[in-house]
Amino acid sequence: MSGTILENLSGRKLSILVGSLLLCQVLCFLLGGLYAPVPAGHTNVLGSLCRENHARQNDTSFFLYSRGEGSCTQVTREEVEQDSMKLANQIVHVFQMPLPRDSRVLDYSRWQQNLIGVLQVEFGYDSSSELREPPKELQLTIDMRLAYRNKGDPDHAWKLYAHGVEHRYLDCVAAHIGSSETLYTCDMIPLFELGALHHSFYLLNLRFPLDTPKQMNLQFGHMHDLTLTAIHQNGGFTHVWLMLKTLLFPFVVGIMVWFWRRVHLLQRSPALLEYMLLYLGGALTFLNLPLEYLSLTIEMPYMLLLSDIRQGIFYAMLLSFWLVFAGEHMLIQDSHNKSTIRSRYWKHLSAVVVGCISLFVFDISERGVQLRNPFYSIWTTPLGAKVAMSFILLAGVSAAVYFLFLCYMISKVFKNIGDKRTSLPSMSQARRLHYEGLIYRFKFLMLATLLCAALTVTGFIMGQMAEGQWKWNDDVEIQLTSAFLTGVYGMWNIYIFALLILYAPSHKQWPTMHHSDETTQSNENIVASAASEEIEFSNLPSDSNPSEISSLTSFTRKVAFE
């Protein structure tokens, strides 16, 4: 049996394949850049002030709302300013989403997937009060009630979604220092995260209880404007994203089936790299699976967590694959056993495992807990922020270790190839040409990987720098963020698609195949054309190794042996 398709493919066919894949890549990029809107939209909602209904204060089925029939009696800012106590404990801040636009009542669509709320706080200290400056760790206690209502429900039919009394720490700077009042503007605080935007309307009631015995919220002067920013995924982006997933899913599944059938046609058991490729394809298929369709009918609050996990599994698999790929071409032949993850790579992969586990723990403690309490965020407490930061730091360190190690391994592979190159001139013309071609193709694949990684990184940086659109000309505008997301997503799909094709075992028989006595040796086929030097190759111990996947591997192994 011969080696992989990559080695046996003619230059023309290879270029056609690469060209068409590149075309697909460009299409993916343009799909996001030209067709899709920005990934996320937002609504800035200024809190309306409603007078508290003290009789039903503790009733969590009672909600105050600012628009629609039966809305609350609103308090103006002037009334608050004029009251000597600033209406302490008598005001409820009400946020009703989404806002009406173009004289129409808008509602959230399930295509908009998720909702993230952040709050911006402004408060002031009177010159008469003894407090003039906020303390270092300014703790705010908020009684939060989130309610929902569906299209067609009566205006008052708000139902409780979540209720919580939460603490947030504020970081504020003085915006205005005057003789009568000092105003402070605070950094935004995370308020809630909903993994499923299942209902049409949402309502948030915020209360800031002032309590002397419990020392609650006493360090605040009085609230000025509260602005809630509700961020949702754009429906158009979900459309495009799902379209991409639905398109890619059958292709990757199909190519995986094809690949596995090819491997099984061989007489030998599948090699490690082939297993790795299959796992990688599996992880990608899991990522491609358009589960989001379900969220259009079923409420799936775990969607955010699930998509994180799916992405995490895929990236972990990809990183592991690169290591194994480099390792399999390492040419060190310490044992004649078939190499497995456990026997050879568990040490190499420990960085990936540690990084993934720490990110997973972080995600569980943030988005996992949010499944129970949407108001929870690990970042809100100083201790939680430290814990979260240390997990992320751990993940970062293991990523750095991983990449250093990967670079080391790749440089070693290149060094070995370089060593062999010096001995190339002493070979016959045909063999030399063939080896040079092999090295070229190996490098080609390395280059492709590097290119993909580089494109991801530059795309990310560009998306961050340009922030939004990039204008081609007056008519064409490219949404960089969306283009980056669809482009990168399509790119890794295409990359793995190409790997599955090019690394599938080739069924092409070399003309001199029968010439060799040992049948399963791929290197035989390569060197067959150089018949005069056959003896040199035929009796090598590495030849008996059944795990070899490509002739290049065996070629390089032989080099090491020499």
Partner 1 sequence: MDISYIFVISLMLALCSSQAESKQKSGRGRGSMWWGIAKVGEPNNMSPITTGIMYMDPAIHSTLRRKQRRLVRDNPGVLGALVKGANLAISECQHQFRNRRWNCSTRNFLRGKNLFGKIVDRGCRETGFIYAITSAAVTHSIARACSEGTIESCTCDYSHQSRSPQANHQAGSVAGVRDWEWGGCSDNIGFGFKFSREFVDTGERGRNLREKMNLHNNEAGRAHVQAEMRQECKCHGMSGSCTVKTCWMRLANFRVIGDNLKARFDGATRVQVSNSLRQSANAVAVVSPNAAMGSNSNGGSNGLLQSAVSVYEEEERMLNDHMPDLLLDNTHLSSKIHHPNMPSPNSLPMAGARSRNGRRQGRKHNRYHFQLNPHNPEHKPPGSKDIVYLEPSPSFCEKNLRHGILGTHGRQCNETSLGVDGCGLMCCGRGYRRDEVIVVERCACTFHWCCEVKCKLCRTKKVIYTCL
Is residue 70 at the binding interface for partner 1, with CB under 8 A as the rule?
Answer: no
Closer to partner 1 by CB, 41 or 546: give it: 41
* Cβ atoms within 10 Å of 560's Cβ, excluding its own: 14
Query: 421-430: long-range contacts at Cβ-Cβ below 8 A with a sequence spacing of 24 or more?
Result: 423/559, 423/562, 427/530, 427/533, 428/530, 428/532, 428/533, 430/529, 430/530
**How do beta strands 48-51 and 201-207 pair?**
unpaired
**Binding string to partner 1 for residues 215 to 234, with x set by CB under 8 A, is what?**
-x-x-----xx-x-x-xx-x
Restricting to residues 475-534, name those near partner 1 by CB under 8 A: 475-477, 479, 481, 485
Enter the tokens of residue 467.
Answer: 């922030």
Position 36 contacts partner 1 (CB under 8 A): yes
Question: Is residue 27 at the binding interface for partner 1, with CB under 8 A as the rule?
Answer: no
Using CB under 8 A, which of the segments 37-45, 150-158, 507-515, 525-533 binds partner 1?
Answer: 37-45
Of 359, 452, 499, 528, which one interacts with partner 1 (CB under 8 A)? 359
Rule CB under 8 A: say whether 466 interacts with partner 1. Answer: yes
The piece of 104-112, 241-249, 260-268, 504-512 that touches partner 1 (CB under 8 A) is 104-112
Asked if 366 is part of the footprint of partner 1 (rule: CB under 8 A), the reply reads: yes
Binder of partner 1 out of 120, 350, 512, 529 (CB under 8 A)? 120
* Helix 429-466, helix 382-423: angle, nearest 10: 160
Note if the bond before 250 is cis, omega within 30 degrees. Answer: no
User: What string marks each residue from 159 to 198 as x (binds partner 1 by CB under 8 A) or -?
Assistant: ----------------xx-x-xx-x-x--x----------
In this chain, which of 17, 106, 253, 453 binds partner 1, going by CB under 8 A? 106
d(CA 208, CA 64): 15
- Helices 551-561 and 429-466, interaxial angle, to 10°? 110
- Answer yes or no whether residue 464 interacts with partner 1 by CB under 8 A: yes
Q: Which stretch binds partner 1 (CB under 8 A): 214-222, 246-254, 266-274, 336-344?
A: 214-222
Q: Which of residues 41-60 bind partner 1 (CB under 8 A)?
A: 41-48, 52, 54, 57-58
How many H helices and E strands in the chain? 14, 13
Question: What is the closest distance, in whole angstroms, from the C-beta atom of residue 145 to partner 1 in the complex?
Answer: 14
Residue type at 55? A
Listed ranges 4-12, 99-107, 420-428, 433-441: which one lies at the site for partner 1 (CB under 8 A): 99-107
- Pick the closest to residue 513 from 558, 551, 559, 546 (CA basis): 551
Lay out the site mask for partner 1 across 434-463 (x = CB under 8 A, - = otherwise): --------------------------x--x
Residue number, 21 or 228, with CB nearest to partner 1: 228
Residue 18 Cα to chain centre, angstroms:
26
User: Which of 493, 491, 485, 469 shows the shortest CA–CA distance to 32?
Assistant: 485
Structure-token match 């505008």, residue found: 477
